[in-house]
Amino acid sequence: MPRSASSPPPRPVGTVTRGTTSPNRLRRMDRWITAVHAPALRRAARPPQAVDLGFGAAPWTAVELLERLRRVRPDARVTGVEIDAERVEAARPHVREGLVFVRGGFEVPVPERPLLIRAANVLRQYAEEEVPAVWARLCGRLAPGGLLVEGTCDEIGRRHVWVALGPEGPRTVTFAARLAGLERPSDLAERLPKALIHRNVPGEPVHAFLADFDRVWAAAAPFAAFGARQRWVRSVRELSARWPLADGPARWRQGEVTVAWPALAPGGPGG
């Protein structure tokens, strides 16, 4: 039965996050998105819709996402979605052409299927067993050729790990870091997304990957004389002989490495 005009709007799906945010926190994720998703953004017949899901107590991440997407597609649009009504209201002064804020959750209340949903630091408070259903729900909202990016980073965006998913499900896992000050690659373990963070134990693929990464990092110590970037690139090149990487040197030089999801999936072949 249709909802009457006097009925209250449906309750957003999900729970309120801590809302921690700061300018430039998601720059590494956004840099990756605008690189790998650029062809899909440019091919879109209509102005592409993106969603910043759970933008938090301040709207900086949504504002920055719009600016970064428009370098690739000048007519891109962003909707900041937040379950906390007060946060949505506080974001109103930042509304501009191509940028709006709405109250909502995992139902993603936008009028058309988005080409991108970015959900950063949203699922940390959920149980691991809840993640597949959330992923499926969000992927079900994507437009054909769409991308869901879900992951976690530290408070100022120095270390970040995310999963990229299409309408069919998870595709890849990306590890990204500010290389200066990185003692070892396994320091990124504390930023694993909820689907993987409790799986960083012996016998699980993600634990084997990080242990292997630490091993090749140690072996590449002499390259540190040429800078942390050269050491990282050398280490990742060694990893590529044993793990199915989905990127190449251009991304490695950015302090990134992307691995095919099946190799790191819980209980998968990498363990």
What is the tens place of the pLDDT at every residue in 194-206?
Answer: 999 999 999 999 9
pLDDT of the residue at 11: 82
Contacts of 89 (CB under 8 A, 6+ apart): none
CA distance 84 to 56: 8
Note whether 162 and 189 are same-domain residues. Answer: no
Local confidence band at 20 (pLDDT 50, 70, 90 cut-offs): confident
Note whether 34 and 93 are same-domain residues. Answer: yes
Q: Hey, CA dihedral for 204, 207, 209, 211, is it positive or negative?
A: negative
CA distance 120 to 12: 18
Note whether 55 and 139 are same-domain residues. Answer: yes
Note whether 17 and 142 are same-domain residues. Answer: yes
Q: Can you give the residue range of the structural domain that contains 229?
A: 179-271
pLDDT of the residue at 269: 67
Rg (CA), the chain: 19
Is there a domain that residue 271 lies in? yes
Note whether 53 and 126 are same-domain residues. Answer: yes
CATH number of the domain where residue 142 is located: 3.40.50.150
Domain tally, the chain = 2
CA distance 87 to 91: 6
pLDDT of the residue at 17: 75
Local confidence band at 5 (pLDDT 50, 70, 90 cut-offs): very low
Over 60: is that where the pLDDT of 7 sits? Answer: no
Over 60: is that where the pLDDT of 271 sits? Answer: no
- Say which DSSP state 226 is in: G
pLDDT of the residue at 22: 81
pTM score, whole prediction: 0.93
Q: What is the pLDDT averaged over residues 199-218?
A: 98
Is there a domain that residue 201 lies in? yes
On whether the CB atoms of residues 271 and 55 are closer than 8 A, the answer is no
Note whether 148 and 220 are same-domain residues. Answer: no
Note whether 183 and 98 are same-domain residues. Answer: no
Over 50: is that where the pLDDT of 263 sits? Answer: yes
What is the tens place of the pLDDT at every residue in 60-71?
Answer: 999 999 999 999
pLDDT of the residue at 12: 85
Over 50: is that where the pLDDT of 4 sits? Answer: no
CA distance 41 to 245: 23
